[in-house]
Chains A and B, each alone.
Chain A
């Protein structure tokens, strides 16, 4: 029998309603509240401990709540983790997502939860955690719990996981190569499938794309800088320029890392061969000969000496933009932007290759 720990809020843990939402996290042995439903439906898995935490406690003291929950679990032996179902309860959904993600990271066990598509937790955590599609209200408890149980068993038993739409979890943005036979479907060649789609489209019929395009983020337009003499400018690139020994081991393609390197002492630009590119998506000849063709520090220094520009940040910021997933690129962008914000940068010159 595989063992699980279940996270639920004060309401489903039968502590109380909104008046008890500040309830501190507690670990109970055995099943409690709605956890009993889970165990009654499960055949190969069993919840052996239940964590109950008030929604407000979690929302207002997130770091503390997570740390306390993780330390409670240090001495518990379990094979996977379950949270919810959270239905359309926003604070509860976010708590379920946070706890599942943290438990996965700390204990390297899979975690599963359940939410309604309108729960803000779906948007925040569906890429990191399996979230089963759930109902809006607690009246869906039994149905949602059934889905949670059967998928949990699958995960816990390390059975192959089918695509999101077939299993009923929210898409995680992960693509796998699969044979249609293995999904229990009739094998049809890709060209035939594409042709069927085209014909359906021409007839005005229904078809389902196999490669949905990611929704695009629109960034609000930043107001103009009044004068570049009065702000600090930073240089950023996806062109893979790094110090010669690539100290942070940024990957040459499908990058998940970025680096920042001190240029404060470089008065006339980036010297070669001290700087070079590690970008595997273009011929490095020119960038290695003169890294300023990608990160134009030499021209920036000239404008500084001509008093066109004020301060330039002591670092430049760099990663590799080839084969890099949109998700990773967005994460690195957010991390770099947060640091630029912290460093009081007023303007950014970004070169992409």
Chain B
């Protein structure tokens, strides 16, 4: 899970979930606390799904929040 997805791809990450930013990968101080929580819960969920998904090459898993 990271924000700099191009760098992650260039160093060979195979399953990748985008995060929000460098200082708060799974948070966002601009959001209300409950929305920030929803974002983190969602993106961690995408990462868990990614771990259970077969991939044929480097794959970025899309996030909704």
Contact = CB atoms under 8 A, between A and B. Distances in A.
Q: A and B from one assembly?
A: yes
B23 to A, nearest CB: 4
A352 B1 contact: yes
A221 B23 CA distance: 28
Dominant secondary structure of chain A at its interface with chain B: loop
B53 interface: yes
Contacts of A287: 23-24
Given A353-B22, A353-B25, A296 B40 contact: yes
A285 B27 CA distance: 12
A228 interface: yes
Nearest to B50: A224
B12 A218 contact: yes
B1 A292 contact: no
A290 B27 contact: yes
Nearest to B53: A224
A349 B47 contact: yes
A224 B52 contact: yes
B51 interface: yes
A98 to B, nearest CB: 29
Interface residues of A, number: 39
A352 B54 contact: no
A79 to B, nearest CB: 41
A228 B19 CA distance: 21
B40 to A, nearest CB: 5
B26 A296 contact: yes
Given A216-B10, A283-B23, 8 more contacts: A228-B51, A282-B23, A284-B23, A285-B29, A294-B25, A303-B48, A347-B51, A349-B1
A298 B63 CA distance: 19
A303 B43 CA distance: 12
